């Protein structure tokens, strides 16, 4: 079970206080994905730290990007790739997600690659097609890789308070696992109140937590729920 906290463009909680609160968590992999300016602080606090993005080149004229080599030099263990907000606002494509994934893995970083459909795609009956295309884009480099997880994040459920039903999440996760053999996380308004029913689904291997990861007790509660379910 893997629980990842995506702090997005928020400073997030105090890293040392969060590390102290999570110290007793056992049997669950816990990572945090802070903004770039807090990466060093979370690493130094002893938290397993992922970046929110990583480029496919080691260096070059790529303003605003960061390389896997740079992240590793500061003790960062992995990165998110292809989050829906990167796809929506910054032109991320299936091709660039695959390139980022390949480069990160080649450098020894772990990857959480994000896939998921918009409300319009779901309404049009294209959910399976979208998930399949996005997942197949990384299959060649990700299949069976111990350092890869896929996060299914229905775009219509991110930051909206809406969540996929446990049955909907399970269906999507099962589909992803027919395409690529990795852990699959659910992401989309995960909170302490709904974590248990989502994490109890047989093909849900964890969660990518957004807003609820910004509060120490909220995030710790989700981690404790995951521990209880897998014990």
| Catalytic entry in 55, 83, 121, 173 | 83
| Catalytic entry in 85, 92, 121, 153 | 153
What long-range pairs does 189-196 form, CB within 8 A, spacing at least 24? 189/157, 189/158, 189/159, 189/160, 189/161, 189/162, 189/163, 190/163, 190/222, 191/218, 191/222, 192/218, 192/221, 192/222, 192/225, 194/163, 195/221, 195/222, 195/225, 195/226, 196/225, 196/229
Instruction: Clarify whether 173 is annotated catalytic.
Output: no
Token pair 């450098």 in the structure block, residue? 107
Instruction: Clarify whether 143 is annotated catalytic.
Output: no
Distance, CA of 179 to CA of 226 (rounded, Å): 25
Which residues are known catalytic residues?
A: 83, 153
């Amino acid at each position: 079970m893997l629980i990842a906290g995506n702090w997005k463009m928020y400073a997030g909680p105090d890293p040392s206080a969060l590390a102290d609160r999570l110290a007793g968590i056992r049997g669950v992999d816990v990572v945090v994905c802070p903004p770039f300016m807090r990466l060093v602080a979370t690493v130094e606090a002893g938290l397993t730290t992922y970046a929110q993005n990583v480029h496919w080149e080691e260096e070059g004229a790529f303003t605003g990007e960061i390389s896997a080599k740079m992240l590793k030099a500061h003790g960062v263990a992995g990165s998110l790739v292809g989050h829906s907000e990167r796809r929506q606002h910054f032109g991320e494509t299936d091709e660039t997600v695959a390139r980022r994934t390949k480069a990160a893995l080649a450098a020894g970083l772990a990857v959480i690659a994000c896939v998921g459909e918009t409300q319009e795609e779901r309404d049009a009956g294209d959910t399976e097609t979208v998930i399949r295309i996005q997942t197949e884009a990384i299959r060649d480099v990700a299949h069976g890789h111990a350092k890869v997880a896929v996060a299914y994040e229905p775009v219509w459920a991110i930051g909206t308070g809406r969540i996929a039903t446990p049955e909907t999440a399970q269906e999507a996760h099962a589909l992803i696992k027919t395409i690529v053999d990795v852990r699959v996380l659910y992401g989309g308004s995960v909170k302490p109140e709904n974590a248990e029913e989502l994490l109890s689904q047989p093909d849900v291997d964890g969660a990518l937590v957004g807003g609820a990861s910004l509060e120490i007790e909220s995030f710790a509660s989700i981690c404790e729920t995951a521990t209880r379910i897998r014990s």
